Structure 1
């Protein structure tokens, strides 16, 4: 009988199916993502791996090594990873039954497809397309780290099949799927706080959109680059990217709604309040009678719901110094979200709108009202506290740090809750240093 894992690290490796070779590859990739391609990046030899998983390590490895391991398994500290696994570990990122069913179905399909050998079946492309659609439509309920892993695996699978066919129409379809997977990875990287890789992936998606003449993908990618730019303090570039995205033809109303909302935020960051208000108006005036094959047919993360628009408008209003409009839009976002089924509610939208509502109330010095607005936010799981949520909450913490609140019990309690809330979030735990310059759409 196989012995029980001696460390939590061993248990997680077993659950993820990581042999030493696969562990070493992932360890190296995460190290490069954290520190760049440095010759001094931490490494792990096979003997060291056996000691780590066998519970034979005395003390902890160096801080760089610990940070890489903590980035590989979000929610776990190095001390926990090298300790014996708990009997019941609710933090362990286990795949649920749905994931197992999906994985088994994919493996069975791959086995059948292997018989084609010299070419790929159109059914294979349909299967890959279904997987892209599924990831896009499930993104709102997935932790960004899980979405990244699923998207990364999917991207590699699409690329593997592209190498197996020279049929032009199949190449075209696979390039579009490549671009969609890259676009979803750009969002996941941004949500984790990795702005530079997010920008690179968004550019990759834009290239695939351009190569295939699939303008909705180009527009989506440029919109993503726009909000990455204003988060990074590149405000002029953000406006330029938003304008370019809106210039493409073939976009449906949802695509234009998303881009006008992003443009509004970009205009605020360069001080053009008039253009920002006009963009908000344009986003709300669309007739919703034109569609495209990405924002409508795939939808999910590629879509832009009414509640997400309201949440985005509330943030833009706050940046314009209009707390009354911000409170109205944030309340509207929460009301619209409540009309959806529980499984269809976006954690990101709920928490972001709650934070906007709290901040709007603080502008009127309504600390009790702000605390009430934040009540639903504290229950957001640590692994789902993405960049957009974290920067909004951090902004509230900075406001409550003003001297006039010192010594007051409720503001002090809220500041402490905010510090703990952000401290365990992926953007802070992974260590890239999230710039608090702007707030995501």
Structure 2
């Protein structure tokens, strides 16, 4: 195979881009024509130099070690003098190139990795990307798989975007309004009602009230009032913005979710409220986690740790548990387990704060913590039994919990984790049984995180060792039908 010049590779890349080829096709052709590893081919297909990739790697994973010499050795794998990449490194490279981790390794290269690293990449690959469509024969099709329909209807999308724009305008120009203690008390009662209802009722019943109350809080702040009342209003406006951020995320609108989360953080900063700072950091970490951006999820969780240490509300437990989930989808079992232990220690030191007193979505209950443990362990190789046990404990904890601690979304998450653990144990029948309560949820409760969790089961069932099981095709088709209609479709026009 002749040696290609940089100019020739650039010409090939540009010609294929003009033809409408995607990055994956370009990388595959570059490797076919020039040889070398898939990692190198993806870098060349993206038009990056090695120093540029090193910079992007360190921006994505600031705690990691990477330089040009190491990158050269990783790109040379599995050739002589090369270095085998760790799973966490491959996952970070995949996020840079917007690819699934396994695309960056040929089958032969994957087989040469240590067994634990190989198992981690195979397992964590199911946490990212759309499901693979099936042909009539039940085999994976070769076509590009469509993304599940998570975006809300046009009316709903306009509503969450309008709320996000109001939040952004407010962030740029915050003032105050005349308001008395009775008005604030009424607003506090309404906020507590919505916080308690959020984990238990569909968004179709809550979104209109959330947006309206946020507007009320902003108008009350749009003038002058006593300092103590200003503090109360900022806290309530921040909590409402945080709940709208979660709602936007649940309805598949990440742009609006991040805008609302930023406004919640502005409110927390204006009054120096560490509890709300910590809670908002946990929310940002959650949004990044479900987007498959593990490094970003970890970074947000760690950023909130300082604020959490000042308050010791349950947000401190949430941050550690959320960090564990981030490390898990990055394939770092040691750091995931350390974060799980940190969450347990934080639970022992909890002193409920103002947000915990609101309850519902604003507090991090013990059953929810147990669900997060399962959600982290399910991505760690050789942890199938532990993940199944943690998921069963979370399900049992929710079933035994008081009504105010119940959460249809997190209970569904625990069921999907149990299904994943059973699938990883190659017990398809048990996986289907565990998933059934989730597949029976009504449309209005099929929020983004639930649909994403179910899709993870779909991808895991599509692995070669499970694909031929009698129940696999039937449940995959059921999952695909389930994912086509999400919670946004349940909202009435104009809501």
TM-score interval w.r.t. the shorter chain? 0.5 to 0.7
Q: TM (normalized to structure 2)? A: 0.61
Q: Please name the residue that 2:85 is paired with.
A: none
Unaligned runs of 5+ in 1: 1-65, 74-117, 431-441
Moved more, 421-430 or 145-154: 421-430
Q: Is the contact between residue 444 and residue 490 of structure 2 (CA under 8 Å) also seen in structure 1?
A: no
Map residues 34-49 of structure 1 onto 2, 5 A cutoff. Answer: none
Deviations, residues 47-77 of structure 1 (Å, cap 9, x unaligned): xxxxxxxxxxxxxxxxxxx95258689xxxx
Say whether the 8 Å CA contact 1:294–1:302 is kept in structure 2: no
**Matched position secondary structure for 1:141:** coil
TM-aligned CA distance change 1:218 to 1:324, over 3 Å: same
* Alignment correspondent of 1:27: none
SS at match of 2:434: helix
Extract unaligned runs of 5+ from structure 2. 1-151, 160-176
Give, in angstroms, the shift of residue 174 of structure 1. Answer: 0.8
- Residue by residue over 1:342-398, the C-alpha shift from the partner in whole angstroms, topping out at 9 and shown as x without a partner, is 675211122111111011001111111112112222221111111221111101112
- CA distance in 2 between counterparts of 1:344 and 1:289 reads 20
2:360 and 2:428 map into 1 onto residues whose CA distance is: 35
**How far does residue 253 in structure 1 lie from its aligned partner after superposition?**
4.6
Which residue of structure 1 lines up, in the alignment, with residue 103 of structure 2? none
User: Would the aligned equivalents of 1:351 and 1:389 in 2 still touch at CA under 8 Å?
Assistant: yes
DSSP 3-state at the match of 2:199: helix
User: Comparing 325-334 with 137-146, which one deviates more in the overlay?
Assistant: 137-146
Tell me how far apart the structure 1 counterparts of residues 197 and 230 of structure 2 sit (CA, whole Å).
26
1:397 pairs, out of 433, 458, 461, with 458
SS at match of 2:310: coil
Q: Does 1:147 align with 2:224?
A: no
Instruction: Please give the residue correspondences for 1:366-381 in structure 2 after superposition, counting only pairs within 5 Å.
Output: 366-381=427-442
Q: 2:222 aligns with which of 129, 140, 163?
A: 163
Structure 1 residues 417, 331: closer, same or farther in 2, change over 3 A? Answer: same
How far apart, in 2, do the equivalents of 1:290 and 1:345 lie?
A: 20
Tell me if the contact between 1:187 and 1:198 (Cα under 8 Å) persists in the aligned partners: yes
Q: Determine the C-alpha separation between the residues in 2 that align with 1:70 and 1:178.
A: 21
SS at match of 2:411: helix
Aligned mates of 1:334, 1:234 — CA distance in 2:
27
Give the SS at the match of 1:337. helix
SS at match of 2:457: helix
Q: Secondary structure at the match of 2:358?
A: coil
Equivalence for 1:57: none
Distance change >3 Å, CA 237–CA 275, structure 1 → 2: same
TM-score, normalization by structure 1: 0.68
User: Does the 8 A contact of 1:314 with 1:330 survive in 2?
Assistant: yes
